[in-house]
Structure 1
């Protein structure tokens, strides 16, 4: 089966950009089923490569290779071995890491996180769904995971015309998936947690904020989820307050804190983060360090202005409660929100809070969430670190 690309549009694909959008497609052979592997050709007939094709998908073409190679189990195993080799020696102090970061590892639609000996898997598009058995065998063999569960219950699958799926894939899945990050023993319930179970991409930022919060200080973790930032701050000797609207996540935080002997150093507030921050400000609370890490907020470019207002509102409240010399980390996991957008929102917030601050650092996602030069969309996690004057 063959798909042809409009003249001039092939350049980006030959430059290793993995997405062929609807406007790039000239025509496609009749009879292609959703998720079929197709040969991709330029308008003049020259071979470009091979990829998954789904005419009804939000992104019809997802490139796999620029070679005439078979897309079978051996292909997926080679790509997974390359992904693991890329991470070798770069992720330390933990037994949890992302082993496949979709297009950034040459594996479109495959997200896999390993927690100890347990693998969490998302299959996000029609192509990987068609090759489900091949991919799962490759993941099992190359990662050595003794148990695995699936959390293919994201909106991306609906855009591909696929049903949502979640459940045990293989092995004896424990009720609690346990792993460690530095000197913390962490866990979550795999079929109750959000996404793949735990946000591994904030690992470096958690360590950063742990170093900055003083022993005996106070720490505010807004949009905390299961409180990774809070637990690190508590281990450093601070008193942490975690704020989230998910009662299950906060319940997990409290259980993990007890298991680590940190329950006296962690407290939770259930509710909308902006509303809770407003209440904390009314109570006269102050903090030595604050993290503001909301969910995606901007899934389209049109969402960015509204998202910036949320960041401004949260940052203004955080700055008013932040002690002089205190640190504030503002983070976004939205591709469409740029570092400059975070800085703009923080600048407006500082004015509203009548505060001044220094930008100390800009951080990005860790090495097990690769950011490829040819794939701008692979950069998504951006954070700015401020110190209040």
Structure 2
């Protein structure tokens, strides 16, 4: 039974009753009983009505991360059921080899990220309450997935906001640094121990596959290529030529490894994308399909205007390089750039380039990264496939 109680300020319960999972520190009126960060506490409205229960962290702006709206005890079986339901949902959606097996608040356990890479698991513990229950969660992961190894990648900046240090290392079995994963008909190397996020960008898996119907016999340019997923899918789908551009030497080496793994032809260019696009325009180069998948241009709201300029610029340059009726694939993973903002940026770029843009497909992150309608930040990834023609 929870001994700590959180009483909200008047009216603050509405957002929570609508499904939002977080109680912010400025919404709390008073604390009753045992108050210990990491504990599970009960949350009540100012009038004394039950709201839910969740992890407490008095040092965080997110004061309580709700786990349940029920008054039933939160025990080991509670967490077991959550993991099993999340696994069943992924299997139902068709995931088999490599996918996000658990996605924090969206799957009902705040701060827990579980990524499956074939026979191995990478995990992140991003909230204090969860971190204190690490061994229990690791045991449940073993029970539900029977992996050969579990590797912790709790090296996200989010932990600092929870008052937690960056941690990484093996938690169970033996986890190799490199594993080979399947993405459709292609294979990709993943660095579980030091790769981006927990190894790679699993949220784009379905989007990598979505470009394939547009690639046959086309000249393709993949900007901000990272590990080359879009480029290699394009080459495998029958593109006439594929150019992958990234400024990072590590990224270019990874693209080459994945190119060799899939025995496809492509050109790898180590260069700043902004400079590359400008040079290609000056040289009057053209492409039939251009992919823009940059890193987040901003991680804070106050830099959003600058980020919009960056997104507009690269989309404008890409439109100028496309052949008549060419395909522009444009993505943004900036959570502060809303879909409406992103579409406005595309409209502004099209107007300046004097182009007509048809939106063919609009996607978010894959279904193994479900978004909560009540949590706007979970709609962080925007992915557009467009046809661009002259006005």
**TM-score, with length taken from structure 2:** 0.93
| C-alpha separation in 1, matches of 2:360 and 2:191 | 36
Q: Structure 1's 297 and 178: CA in aligned 2 closer, same or farther, altered over 3 A?
A: same
| C-alpha separation in 1, matches of 2:40 and 2:12 | 20
Aligned to 2:318: 318
Matched, 1:118 2:120: yes
Aligned to 2:338: 338
**Comparing 49-58 with 369-378, which one deviates more in the overlay?**
369-378
Unaligned runs of at least 5 residues, structure 2: none
Offset, 1:30: 7.0
Offset, 1:142: 1.3
Contact 1:293-1:330 at 8 Å conserved across structures:
yes
| Residues 361-372 of structure 1 mapped to structure 2, 5 A cutoff | 361-372=361-372
Aligned to 2:378: 378
Contact 2:181-2:190 at 8 Å conserved across structures:
no
Matched, 1:32 2:35: yes
Offset, 1:114: 0.4
| C-alpha separation in 1, matches of 2:109 and 2:272 | 36
Q: Secondary structure, in 3 states, of the residue corresponding to 2:61?
A: coil
Aligned residues: 385
| C-alpha separation in 2, matches of 1:373 and 1:261 | 41
Aligned to 1:45: 48
Unaligned runs of at least 5 residues, structure 1: none
Question: In structure 2, which of residues 129, 133, 137 is the aligned counterpart of residue 135 of structure 1?
Answer: 137
| C-alpha separation in 1, matches of 2:109 and 2:267 | 40
Question: In structure 2, which of residues 257, 260, 267 is the aligned counterpart of residue 258 of structure 1?
Answer: 260
| C-alpha separation in 1, matches of 2:345 and 2:72 | 47
Q: Structure 1's 328 and 70: CA in aligned 2 closer, same or farther, altered over 3 A?
A: same
**Comparing 24-33 with 108-117, which one deviates more in the overlay?**
24-33
**TM-score, with length taken from structure 1:** 0.94
Q: Secondary structure, in 3 states, of the residue corresponding to 1:194?
A: coil
Aligned to 1:69: 72
| C-alpha separation in 1, matches of 2:47 and 2:349 | 54
| C-alpha separation in 2, matches of 1:274 and 1:32 | 51
Q: Structure 1's 34 and 241: CA in aligned 2 closer, same or farther, altered over 3 A?
A: farther
| C-alpha separation in 1, matches of 2:59 and 2:382 | 32
- Deviations for 1:204-259, whole angstroms, at most 9, x for unmatched residues? 221221110122x2211112211110110010122222222332222111111112
**Comparing 358-367 with 309-318, which one deviates more in the overlay?**
358-367
Aligned to 1:221: 222
